[in-house]
Chain A
Amino acid sequence: MAEALIKLDHIFKTYDLPGNNNSTVLSDINLEIQEGEFVAILGPSGSGKSTLLRIIAGLVEPSQGKVYYKNESGEGFRTGMSMVFQSFALFPWLTVLENVKLGLKNNHSLDEKQKEEKAIEIIDMIGLDGFERAYPKELSGGMKQRVGLGRALVMEPDLLLMDEPFSALDVLTAENLKRDLLELWMEKRIPTKSIIMVTHGIEEAVYMANRAVVLSRDPARVVANIPINLPHWRDKQDRMFTALVDKIYSILTTKEVGAATYKEDKTKKLAQLPNARSGALTGFIELLEDIGQKTDLYKLGDQLNLDLEDLLPIVEAASMLQLVMIKEGDIELTPIGKAFAEATVLERKEIFREQALQRVGSLNTVFSALNSKSNGKMPEEFFLNILTRHFGEEEAQNQLNTIIDWGRYAELFAYDEHVGQLFLEKEED
């Protein structure tokens, strides 16, 4: 058995929030990655996947726990690794060749000429022959990511880290690049021993990796560790393939919803609202009504051309409001959901209002706070402060935006953006 290339030992990451609070992003992550493995880290958006990757790289220090790389733990960036970024992170003022050569900066065994030769060799390998003197802005997205990949590979890393490397590319370009990378990896044309890829594309993970590590959200824990033993090249239409995708889908959705309700019942903490707009939500319910039966979530996402990142919040919101029911990766309208779908615009608002006030703690809090004021007005900062204490600055704004969107849709309250004020609409005539 190969030795563990990297080992995460009880990793925690917390960020300090105002008012003696802190938010835990990563909670007790234990993970071992062996030589020869291609691991995909999956999780809903905002789950801290990218933070985890940066902790592995040594770009971010964990709050607790240790990272062992080849049995050694050290601080700072670890040599022997390289990273591919979602946004490519190319230096715009350097040519393709210079960008790739930057990866050889610390390779002191090569002289200038050898470095150049090696960089050109890599550029040929990643299919950018002829573009050596081009600047990144002359290249398409796919070609830019090839440069990013080339710059990482020229370092001949033992461990290649990839942070959502394909998510900024269009579908066809991404497909093409995935194949090329997989080919390099499988034919061992690169000396890389292991690859860790952070992604939110389940299909992508099942297509490429040997193992999928599934994280939950808020805070992130490892909820599943799924080996993918299908032989390459994998057929996306294959029954085994879709079954695996389906399985991960259901893990992600059930954990997701489970986590949210768990929190509402057991602790007095505010439940985090999924960032779904009311418009998207009603559209989704209408669609389910059209389908008219229990549906596979994965197929639904595929059909709608939505990836996990976009679909999950909507599903979660619908489930939170008890408009849908989710069981083992299948989704179905509840009686309330059916009533909602068949209702008129005004009736819908009524159903939504009722469900929201009952089920959504934060919306209820805002509504009662406004009601308690004689003029029915409150500045948004007030709510933002409360939310910041629970969710941190960045997420608090998202939460407030969702609360305002839902509140406006339900006609619970109105919002004046310029003044930054939430207020109850006076009932006129």
Chain B
Amino acid sequence: MRREFIQTQQTRKFGWVDILVIVLSFGLLYFILSLGSGMKAPVVPEQISEISLDPLLLPYYAGRSLIRMFLAYGLSLVFTFVYGHIAAYNKSASIVMVPLLDILQSIPVLGFLSVTVTGLIGLFPGSMLGPELASIFAIFTGQAWNMTFSFYYSVTAIPSELREVSAMTNMSVFSKFTKLELPYSMIGLVWNSMMSFGGGWFFLAASEAITVLGKDIKLPGIGSYMATAIDKGDINAIYLSIVTMIITIVVVDQLFWRPLVAWSQKFKMEQSEGDEQKSWFLDLLRKSVVISQVQTVVRTIALKIKSSIKGINRNKLNLKENTLIKFWVRLLKWGAAFGVIYVIINHVFDGLLLVLQLSQSDLLKAIGYGGYTFLRVLAGTLIGTLWTVPVGVSIGLNPKLARFAQPLIQIAASFPANMVFPFITLFYLNYHISIEIGAVPLMILGTQWYILFNVIAGALAIPNDLKEASTVLGLNCYERWKKLILPAIFPYLVTGWITASGGAWNASIVSEIVSWQNHDLIATGLGAYIASATYEGNWPKIIWGITVMALIVVFTNRLIWRKLYKLANEKFNIA
């Protein structure tokens, strides 16, 4: 977990590029928005299928949800390879592409869920394909960025010797990808994929059932089942959907991610023993006869494809040598670049005009609300820290317990927290707890696990000799915490904070407004501001709200977290 993070948090100075990129993202945001808002009255699909609460349909719904998750994951992978590849090899493109990725990571994707839904419904009028794609897109936006970061940093970190070898053996772009870049980035990519996929459930649960322009759209899936159960106040159905969710997560973990993680270990560069990843399913696969036969078939097909691709590549090489074609390709590239810049600048301008329609008090209100939500995020992170540090350290100092607890926590982290919101909402309603405070636990519910995860990893990493030295030096319990444990886990804690607080911002959009049947609890905050703006379809407010939130996230990342991260790595790094 932590190692991956180091790769993605290289300390860059905040410069003009970042400002440019922020402006650029603003334009991009408005561009997407205008796609949606262009269709003022989208043709909402007629045949909105009613979600049945029949338990026997749950496996079917879970299957539909799973398909969505895997399609989104596939999309994320494609995006990762294309974007990461260009950013890694094209120096001038990377100047913009890397900071852009950083900003995209900070944008609360749930905010413009309704926007993409409207836009996509407009593209496929009267069909469920629109909402379906919007849901997949929402999951994609929750998964893609850190995978791309991981791939980009792995590719840029390939040792020059390996590059030289691939140049000497005249590898084609494709074989360079399969033989060098993919293996080299595999471990980080698989790990980040697993984490992203786990986080994706949250977006799935949030995106399957959505209200756009006063219309309820429910895609057949486990998230909508849950939403329907909430609408009808059917507690049993809620329990059932939670159980189904857990089973689905565990099954995917055991049959897909564990084998993949165990398999990816063969790409380890250093030959160190220990922390071996095991998967019973992978062992089973490896030993089965059927699989080995399938493998041979796949291999022969792959070989055929490869040889045909080689031919294509050779043709390409010849083409490139032609100066005239080179010239045209160049011209095309520049033309495309200018086109994109023109469109975006145009939209930045239009977007600004739109936002300026808001009254000054409305503009200030969003900023003020941002302050409230900021305080909630901090409070949530603090609460998350207070309980995870003692718990995480006692788990981490006991490796046997850790081995047992870690997979459980990973499942807890994957479980979409928004699925337990109804219970908490009911609790708040019954005991008259103000949502102003009540939103805090909701926001951190799903993301505190990342702090716990990291604290455990940190405690596990405390070297034994330092523990012995503290005994030899006669440190008492208090001194042990102060001199050994807290400093040692600090870098891990910071990593956990960054992940958890980022997630909390995203969660604020669904946590600051919660409902049970027809009771709505609304907190004062930016999350609620954005959520109600999307409900009303108020474009200026949506743009402004998302922009403010993204800016706050970006600036806290730069001004607080990254400073802490630097400090942690300089002073408290054990390695």
Most A CB contacts (10 A, CB to CB) among B286, B471, B472, B484 go to: B472
27 CB-based A-B contacts, threshold 8 Å:
A59-B471, A77-B471, A77-B472, A77-B474, A83-B469, A83-B472, A86-B465, A87-B463, A88-B465, A89-B463, A91-B466, A91-B469, A92-B572, A92-B573, A92-B574, A93-B571, A94-B483, A102-B475, A103-B473, A105-B474, A151-B473, A155-B473, A379-B287, A418-B266, A418-B286, A419-B286, A419-B287
Question: Which A-B residue pairs are the 8 nearest by beta carbons?
Answer: A89-B469, A89-B465, A93-B487, A106-B474, A83-B472, A85-B465, A419-B286, A87-B465
A428 to B127, CA, bound (A): 62
Query: Is A278 close to B, CB under 8 A?
Result: no
Quick one: CB contact mask for B268-296 with A, threshold 8 Å, 1 for yes? 00000100000000010011000000000
Tell me how far the C-beta of A137 lies from the nearest C-beta in chain B, rounded to whole angstroms.
Answer: 8
Set B273, B286, B287, B572: member contacting A93, Cβ < 8 A:
B572
CA–CA, A417 to B266, complex, Å? 9
Interface members, chain B 444-477 (any A CB < 8 Å): 463, 465-466, 468-469, 471-475
User: Max chain A CB contacts within 10 Å: which of B465, B479, B574?
Assistant: B465
Contacts of A106 in B (CB 8 A): 473-474
Q: What B residues does A93 contact at CB under 8 A? A: 487, 571-572
- Contact with B475, one of A87, A92, A105, A418 (Cβ below 8 angstroms): A105
Within 8 A of B (CB), among A70-92: 77, 79, 81-83, 85-89, 91-92
Does A364 make an interface contact (CB < 8 A)?
no
- Which residues of chain A from 92 to 110 have a CB within 8 Å of any chain B CB? 92-94, 102-103, 105-106
Shortest distance from the beta carbon of A426 to any chain B beta carbon, whole Å: 15
Docked complex Cα distance between A77 and B468 (Å): 10
Residues of B within 8 A of A420 (CB): 283
Kindly provide the distance from the CB of A395 to the nearest chain B CB, expressed in whole angstroms. Answer: 13
Task: A419 to B279: give the CA distance in the assembly, Å.
Answer: 12
B474 touches A91 (CB 8 A): no
Is residue A225 within 8 Å, beta carbon to beta carbon, of the partner chain?
no
Across the interface, do A59 and B572 meet the contact criterion of CB distance under 8 Å? no
Contact partners of A77 in chain B: CB under 8 A: 471-472, 474
* A-side contacts of B573, CB under 8 Å: 92
Cα A82 to Cα B573 with chains together (Å):
26
Size bin of chain B's contact surface = 20 to 34
Contacts of B471 in A (CB 8 A): 59, 77
- Residue among B273, B283, B473, B487 with the most chain A CB within 10 A? B473
Task: Contact check, B572 vs A82: say whether CB atoms are below 8 A apart.
Answer: no
CA distance A86 to B464 in the complex (A): 12
Give the dominant DSSP class at A's interface.
loop
Distance A419 CA – B265 CA, assembled complex (angstroms): 12
Say whether A91 contacts B266, CB under 8 Å. no
Q: Which residue of A lies closest to B484 (CB)?
A: A91
Residues of B contacting A83 in the complex (Cβ-Cβ under 8 angstroms): 468-469, 472
> Within 8 Å CB of A322, what residues of B?
none
On whether the beta carbons of B466 and A397 are closer than 8 Å, the reply is no
| CB neighbors of A among B106-144 (8 A) | none
| A220-248 contacts to B (CB < 8 Å) | none
Bound: A389/B329 CA distance, A: 68
Contact B472 A82 (CB under 8 A): yes
CB-based contact A91/B472 at 8 Å: no
Known contacts A79-B474, A105-B473; is-contact A85 B484 (Cβ 8 Å): no
Query: Do the beta carbons of B572 and A89 come within 8 Å of each other?
Result: no
A126 at the interface (CB under 8 A from B): no
Nearest A-chain residue to B292, judged by Cβ = A419
Q: How far is the CA of A420 from the CA of B263 in the complex (A)?
A: 12
| Known A105-B473, A151-B473: A91·B483 in contact at CB below 8 Å | yes
Supply 7 further A-B pairs (C-beta < 8 A) apart from A91-B483, A105-B473: A59-B472, A89-B465, A91-B484, A102-B475, A102-B483, A103-B473, A155-B473
A312 close to B (CB within 8 Å): no
Tell me the complex Cα distance, A419–B273, Å.
16
Asked whether any CB of chain B lies closer than 8 Å to the CB of A260, the reply is no
B contacts with A: majority SS: helix
* Distance between B574 CB and nearest chain A CB, rounded to angstroms: 6
Return B434 CB to nearest CB of chain A, in Å: 41
> Shortest CB–CB separation between residue B417 and chain A, in angstroms?
34
Closest CB in chain A relative to B424 CB, distance in Å? 39
Interface residues of B in 124-166 (CB under 8 A from A): none
A148 to chain B, nearest CB (A): 9
Give complex CA distance A417, B572 in Å.
Answer: 37
Q: How long is the Cα–Cα vector from A87 to B572 in the complex, in angstroms?
A: 18
In the complex the two chains form, what is the Cα distance from A105 to B477 in whole Å?
Answer: 13
Shortest CB-to-CB span from B397 to chain A, Å, is: 16
Complex: how many Å from CA A197 to CA B23? 66
Contact of B487 among A86, A87, A91, A417 (CB under 8 A): A91
B337, chain A: closest CB distance, angstroms: 45
Q: Judge whether A57 is part of the interface by a CB distance below 8 angstroms.
A: yes
Give A132 Cβ to nearest chain B Cβ, in Å. Answer: 17
A334 vs B266: C-alpha distance in the bound complex, in angstroms? Answer: 42
Q: How far is the CB of A145 from chain B (nearest CB, A)?
A: 13
| Cβ–Cβ < 8 Å partners of B572 in chain A | 92-93
Q: A93-B571, A397-B273, A419-B287 are in contact. Are A102 and B473 (CB under 8 A)?
A: yes
- Chain A residues lying within 8 Å of B484, measured Cβ to Cβ, are 91
Instruction: Say whether A85 contacts B468, CB under 8 Å.
Output: yes
Q: Which residues of chain B have C-beta atoms less than 8 A from A92's C-beta?
A: 571-574
B18 to A: closest C-beta gap in Å: 31
What is the bound-complex CA distance between A56 and B422, given in angstroms? 59
**Interface 0/1 of A411-423, CB less than 8 Å to B:** 0000001111000
Closest-CB distance, B104 to chain A (whole angstroms): 35
B103 CB to nearest chain A CB (Å): 33
Query: Closest B-chain residue to A104, C-beta based?
Result: B473
Q: Whose C-beta in chain B lies nearest to the C-beta of A155? A: B473
A57, A379, A397, A417: the one contacting B472 at CB < 8 Å is A57
CA distance A77 to B475 in the complex (A): 11
Contact flags B479-521 to A (C-beta < 8 A → 1, else 0): 1000110010000000000000000000000000000000000
Q: Which residues of A contact B273 (CB under 8 A)?
A: 397
The residue on A at minimum CB distance from B263 is A418
User: Which of chain A's residues have a CB closer than 8 A to the CB of B474?
Assistant: 77, 79, 105-106
Residues of A within 8 A of B479 (CB): 105
Residues of A contacting B472 in the complex (Cβ-Cβ under 8 angstroms): 57, 59, 77, 81-83
Q: Which residue of A lies closest to B473 (CB)?
A: A102
Residues from chain A with a CB closer than 8 A to the CB of B465 are 85-89
Closest CB of chain B to A298's CB: distance in Å?
Answer: 31
**In angstroms, how far is the closest chain A Cβ from the Cβ of B472?**
5
Nearest-neighbour CB distance to chain B for A392, whole angstroms, equals 15
Whether A89 contacts B466 in the complex (CB less than 8 A), given A59-B471, A105-B474, comes out as: yes
Contacts of B483 in A (CB 8 A): 91, 94, 102
Shortest A138–chain B CB gap in Å is 12
The residue of chain B having its C-beta at the shortest distance from the C-beta of A416 within the complex is B286
User: Could you tell me the distance in whole angstroms from the C-beta of A373 to the nearest C-beta in chain B?
Assistant: 13
CA distance A417 to B487 in the complex (A): 39
Residue of B with least CB distance to A85? B465
Q: Which of chain A's residues has its CB closest to B466's CB?
A: A89
List the B residue with the shortest CB-CB distance to A418. B266
- Could you tell me the distance in whole angstroms from the C-beta of B336 to the nearest C-beta in chain A? 44
Q: Tell me whether B574 and A89 are in contact (CB under 8 A).
A: no
Given contacts A77-B474, A105-B475, A397-B273, A89 and B468 within 8 Å (CB-CB): yes
Chain B's closest residue to A135 (CB) is B571
Which of B266, B286, B573 has the largest count of A CB atoms less than 10 A from its CB?
A: B286
- Nearest neighbor of B571 in chain A, beta-carbon distance: A93
Q: Which residue of A lies closest to B575 (CB)?
A: A92
Which B residues touch A151, using CB under 8 A?
A: 473
For the complex, what is the distance from the CA of A155 to the CA of B473, rounded to whole Å? 8
A153 CA to B144 CA, complexed, in Å: 55
What B residues does A94 contact at CB under 8 A?
Answer: 483
A85–B484 Cα distance when bound, in Å, is 17
Chain A: minimal CB distance from B284 (Å): 12
Complex formed: what's the CA distance from A89 to B465 in Å?
Answer: 5
A420 to B483, CA, bound (A): 43
Which B residues from 396 to 410 make CB contacts under 8 A with A? none
